[in-house]
Amino acid sequence: MSIPFFPPDLFDGDELLDLVHAVGTSPQQRFILGERTAEFESALRESLGVADAIACGSGTSALTLLLHAMDVGPGDEVIVPAYGCAPLAATPLLRGATPVFADVDPWTVVVDPVEVEKLVTERTKVIMPAHMFSVMADMPALRRIAADAGVRLLEDSAVAQGGVLAGRPAGTWGDAGVFSFVQVKTFGMPGEGGMVVTNDPALGRTVRMLRNHGQDGRTRFLHHRIGHNSRFDELMAAFQLRRLAGLPERLERRAAIADYYTERFTGLPGVQPPPPGRDGRCFYVYSLLADRRDALRDHLATAGIGSHVYYQAPLPRQAAFAPYAADRDWPHAEHACRRQLAIPVYPHLTDAQVEHIADQVRRFALA
C-alpha cells in the first residue's frame, strides 16, 4: 500500500478543460476579475456573513494588501508567531515594518496570547496570529489584547477555511482575515489564489482598490493610490464555484479522519496528537509531535506512507529574518521544529488507508 502525503488525484478528469472553454468563449472574454470572480466573492461573503470578500492573487498577497490598507510602514511593529510560514515575517518587512516574534503554545503550536501581550508596545500597529495545522489560535484572547491596546487584529486563516471557534468562522475574528486556495489547502485549486474577508467596509474598499493598481473598479486607468497587481483568475473562480458545494462534506471527512487518529494516538509514548474535539479545529494538516520524529518519518516511508516536516527552523532563526529578530529565545517554537511531523488527512483516503496509517504510527511508538 502506497499512500502519498499530498493527494495526486484532486484535479483529474476533464473539468478544467471544460471551464477553460467556457471562460474563453464567454461574451465578456475576461480572464481576470470578471463575473465569476464577483460571484465567488459573493458566495464566500454570504457563507461567512461578512461585509466584504475580496479575491486576490494569493494568501501572501492578501496579507500584503491588508497591511498596506492598514497603513503599516516604517517604524511600526507587527507581532507574529515565531513558528509558521515565511509570509508572516516577510509581509511586514516588505512594508518597512518590523516583525516581532512571539513564542507558541507547546502543544497546539499556535501563538501564545500570554507571549503576545508581553510584546505589545507603543510601536505595535498590528497583531497577526496564524492558525496552524489543525488548531485555530486563541482568537478571543487575542481579540481582547488587540482591543485593549488599540491595535489592528489581522487573522491569518490561510489554512483554516471551514474552521469554527465558539460558533464563529475562521477569518472573521479580527479586523480582517485571509484565506489561501493554493492546491494543498482545504479549499485548494490548481493555481495560486487568496481571499480577504472583513466586516470593515472601508477596509474592504481599500483592499479592492489596492489589488488592481489603485483603481476603483469604475473607471480604468484612473489610479487613486499606488497599488499592486493581485487580481484573481476567472478560470479559478469558476473552478472554486463548482467545488464550493462539496466543501462541507470534504471538511467533515477530514475531521472524521482526525478524530480517528486522535483516538488511536492519545496516550502513545513519545507521540503527541493535537488536542481532541472539533471546536476551534481546522483539519488542513494532521500534525503529530514526536520525540523521535525523523525515525518515525523513516518508519512510515518504509510502510509506504508519505509524511511531511514543516518549518525546520523558527522564523527568527532563519537567515532571511534573523537580522530583524531581537536577541531572545523561542523555546516552544524550537521544540516544535524538532518534533513536528504531518501525516495524510485528505478526504480521498479510504478507511483501510487511514487504519493502516494509524496502525503504523502505533507500531512505531509501541516498539
Q: What are the boundaries of each domain within the chain?
A: 15-244, 247-366
Bridge partners, residue 104, by sequence: 111
What pLDDT is attached to residue 14? 55
- Residue 218, C-beta contacts closer than 8 angstroms, at least 6 positions apart: none
DSSP-derived secondary structure for 14-78? SHHHHHHHHHHTSTT--SBSSHHHHHHHHHHHHHHT-SEEEEES-HHHHHHHHHHHTT--TT-EE
Name residue, grid cell 491596546: 149
The band of 190, judged by pLDDT with boundaries at 50, 70 and 90, is confident
When pLDDT is averaged across residues 229-241 and rounded to a whole number, the result is 92
Q: Which of the four pLDDT bands, split at 50, 70 and 90, describes residue 216?
A: confident
% of the chain surpassing 90 pLDDT: 85
Confidence of residue 27 (pLDDT cuts 50, 70, 90): confident
Mean pLDDT across 151-162: 97
Q: Which residues contact 311 (CB under 8 A, 6 or more apart)?
A: 83, 84, 85, 336, 337, 340
Catalytic-residue membership of 118: no
Residue 13: pLDDT over 60 = no
Coil, helix or strand at residue 164: strand
Instruction: Give the pLDDT of residue 40.
Output: 97
CA quadruple 277, 49, 172, 40: dihedral positive or negative? Answer: positive
- The CATH code for residues 15-244 is 3.40.640.10
Q: If you average pLDDT over residues 32-60, what whole number do you get?
A: 95
* Residue 272 one-letter amino acid: Q
pLDDT at 55 over 60: yes
Amino acid at 242: R
Over residues 126-151, mean pLDDT: 97
Second CATH level (architecture) for the domain 247-366: Alpha-Beta Complex (3.90)
* pTM passes above 0.85: yes
Task: Give the confidence band of 217 by pLDDT, cuts at 50, 70, 90.
Answer: confident
Using the predicted structure, report yes or no on whether residue 12 has a pLDDT greater than 70.
no
Q: Using CB atoms within 10 A of its CB, is residue 219 exposed (0-12), middle (13-18) or buried (19+)?
A: exposed
pLDDT confidence bin for 25, thresholds 50/70/90: confident
Question: Is 9 a residue whose pLDDT tops 70?
Answer: no
What counts of helices (H) and strands (E) characterise the chain? 12, 12
Ranges of beta strands (E only) in 69-114 are 77-81, 98-102
Q: State the pLDDT at residue 32.
A: 82
Q: Is pLDDT at 75 greater than 90 in this prediction?
A: yes
Q: Choose the catalytic residue: 143, 185, 211, 332.
A: 185
- What average pLDDT does range 235-241 have in this prediction? 91
Task: Output the average pLDDT for the chain.
Answer: 94
> Does the structure show a pLDDT above 60 at 67?
yes
Question: For the chain, what percent of residues have pLDDT higher than 70?
Answer: 96
